[in-house]
Amino acid sequence: MSDMGIKLTDADMAELRVAFFSQSEEILDNLQQQIMAIEDNPGEDNWKALKRAFHTLKGDSKAMGFNSIGTFAHKVEDLIAGIKDREPDRASIDLLLECADAFRVFLDDVADNREPEISGIVSKIASYAGGCAPVAGKQELQKTNRDNGRGLPFLKIEPERVDRIMNLVGELVIGRSMLSQLTSEVHNLGTDSIAMRLENLNSSFERTLSDLQRSVMKVRMLPVDLIFRRFPRIVRDLSAEKGKIVRLKIQGENTELDKGIVDVIGEPLLHIVRNAIDHGIETTDERKASGKPEEGLLSLKAFHQGNQMVIEIEDDGRGIDTDRLKEKAIQKGMLSSDDAKKMSAKEAMNLIFLSGFSTAESITEMSGRGVGMDIVKDAVESLRGIIDITSEKDRGTNITLRLPLTLAIIKSILFTYKSETFALPLASVTEIIRVLPEDIETIGGNPVLRHRKGMVPLISIGGTEISHSKYFIILIGVARMRAGLITEKIIGEEELVIKSLDDRVSTGLAAGASILGNGSVVLILDPLFLIKKGAGYQQMSGIVENI
């Protein structure tokens, strides 16, 4: 660059570093998939993709002055050519995966201004190659360099900028509500001509804002593949460590969800996948003895359902033994024998969400410490999602996560209780019915409603004594749990911008707050919290109350 008379400033170099690390991370994110694709199908296209990735890493590293990383990438190019000639086996694939891991470590080193120590992995490459790995031809390298993926029509935007735009759209949504409120008030005053003009303006504004809102939301959406792509390597390595044969099946990897959810949900999913292999899927001998195929099946599936994102993790392993769960809970002093006898299978299944609970006989690196599913549950619920488990002994287990598509704006139903206005996420509302006081029965001192050949526990925000001749009951559902919320008046549906509450004032009852068109603040209630506090779910001496 000096020969061309170009001098880069510190700011220029800083921008180049950001671009380099960003692109390198993207390449590394895909490397594991490319390497494992060769293990399944050593076709020419897969080899070309892998060589292209390391060649791009080599060129970019040397351009940035990270010569040791560039040298390492060149050694890996030689290794790839040698493995291709010999035909890949598990050992060679393991070495390629180790090289991908090493490259990520080396990136961290240069990011922290440390010199990468490449001698160890280079020695492994030399030992494998035996000094005879051929060097890729110059013509081929030039060809791959021209096809390094940089011409793809993508624009990189910092997440903070998108979040800022999303916040501004949220303020516009509040402004739209205020304009609607003003239009209604003007119309009620009888000034028809002004009201008509305001209505036309409001309609135009609403259409434009809806388009803008959808467009910005789309920018925040990311494919769930960003999470799923980690699991083939994890399943491969962990199943080999445990002496099991496990096939991973992934569906719906292009399904999109909010970036804020992508950032949080990865670790919970990772723990569930590890649990499925560690505890769920049996060894080959156990599977043969029970008449199952030697190869266990673990499937990850993502899809949209209404305005929710659903992720299912299912295995065909031994399932969950609820009797054993209860035994362990009794041994740990978490449950009394009398309460255990009264438990349904579903209630017993929820014991795995208790903090400190584990069925492992010994503590290993993977399990036995009682830390896991409670953390998974907390993470899911922090996203206003729900987790549901179904299992059949010796047949397998299904864990379903239901998550909102976005964390910023939700459709809600507004209602009043003792002259205060509240909101509930519309996704949790199954039905609204009107009842007379005599329709409400009492069982065990708790109000219930007989509805559709069943009994629905009733809950209220602060007591059931309402001075009305009729009630509105909002039936809410989360997973398989149901309850009815007693209300005085239904206002209607509205799209609300969620504002988080300060931890000092949050009690768990509200998932957040919003501002209505008239400028008043409304609390958005958490349906799962309401159901947990419902009379029908306060059983087992408080054990399930925290589940």
Q: What is the DSSP letter of 64?
A: T
pLDDT digits (tens, 9 = 90+) for 429-482: 888 998 887 888 888 777 888 887 778 888 877 655 555 567 888 988 776 678
Say what the pLDDT of residue 397 is: 93
Among 19-33, 114-128, 200-214, 306-320, top mean pLDDT goes to 306-320
**Whether the Cβ atoms of residue 109 and residue 158 lie closer than 8 Å to each other:** no
pLDDT digits (tens, 9 = 90+) for 479-506: 667 888 888 889 988 888 777 776 555 5
Residues 6+ away with beta carbon under 8 Å from 420: none
Say what the pLDDT of residue 257 is: 85
Regarding the domain with residue range 2-146, which homologous superfamily does it belong to in the CATH classification? Answer: HPT domain (1.20.120.160)
Residue 9 to residues 23, 65, 237, Cα–Cα distance (Å): 21, 15, 45
Cα Rg of the chain, angstroms: 29
In the chain the first and final C-alpha atoms are separated, in Å, by 62
| Stated pTM of the model | 0.67
Tally of CB atoms within 10 A around 278: 19
Say what the pLDDT of residue 296 is: 92
Q: Judge residue 297's burial from the number of C-beta atoms within 10 Å of its C-beta, 0-12 exposed, 13-18 middle, 19 or more buried.
A: middle
**Whether the Cβ atoms of residue 221 and residue 162 lie closer than 8 Å to each other:** no
> If you average pLDDT over residues 230-249, what whole number do you get?
88
Helix (H) / strand (E) element for 399: namely: strand 396-404
Q: Judge residue 207's burial from the number of C-beta atoms within 10 Å of its C-beta, 0-12 exposed, 13-18 middle, 19 or more buried.
A: exposed
**Whether the Cβ atoms of residue 404 and residue 308 lie closer than 8 Å to each other:** yes
Mean pLDDT of the chain: 78
Using DSSP, state whether 357 is helix, strand or coil: coil
Say what the pLDDT of residue 498 is: 79
Residue 378 to residues 288, 362, 545, Cα–Cα distance (Å): 37, 25, 14
Residue type for position 111: A
Tally of CB atoms within 10 A around 374: 17
Q: Which ranges in 492-545 belong to alpha helices (H)? A: 527-532
Task: Give residue 541's Cα distance to chain centre.
Answer: 32
> If you average pLDDT over residues 29-42, what whole number do you get?
81
pLDDT digits (tens, 9 = 90+) for 172-186: 877 777 877 777 777
Residues 6+ away with beta carbon under 8 Å from 290: 282, 394
Say if residue 364's pLDDT is above 50.
Answer: no
Tally of CB atoms within 10 A around 504: 5
pLDDT digits (tens, 9 = 90+) for 293-345: 999 999 999 998 877 889 999 999 999 888 888 888 888 888 888 888 888 77
**Whether the Cβ atoms of residue 277 and residue 244 lie closer than 8 Å to each other:** yes
Domain 409-540 architecture: Beta Barrel (2.40)
- Would you identify the CATH topology of the domain 224-404? Heat Shock Protein 90 (3.30.565)
Say what the pLDDT of residue 156 is: 63
% of the chain with per-residue pLDDT over 70: 83
Specify the higher pLDDT residue, 334 or 408: 334
Which of the residue ranges 119-133, 166-180, 394-408 would you say has the lowest mean pLDDT?
119-133
Say what the pLDDT of residue 279 is: 87
Say what the pLDDT of residue 232 is: 86
Using DSSP, state whether 96 is helix, strand or coil: helix
Q: What is the DSSP letter of 430?
A: E
Say what the pLDDT of residue 396 is: 92
Specify the higher pLDDT residue, 40 or 390: 390
Say what the pLDDT of residue 153 is: 43
> If you average pLDDT over residues 365-372, what whole number do you get?
45
Side-chain-side CA neighbours of residue 28 (13 Å): 20
Say if residue 109's pLDDT is above 60.
Answer: yes
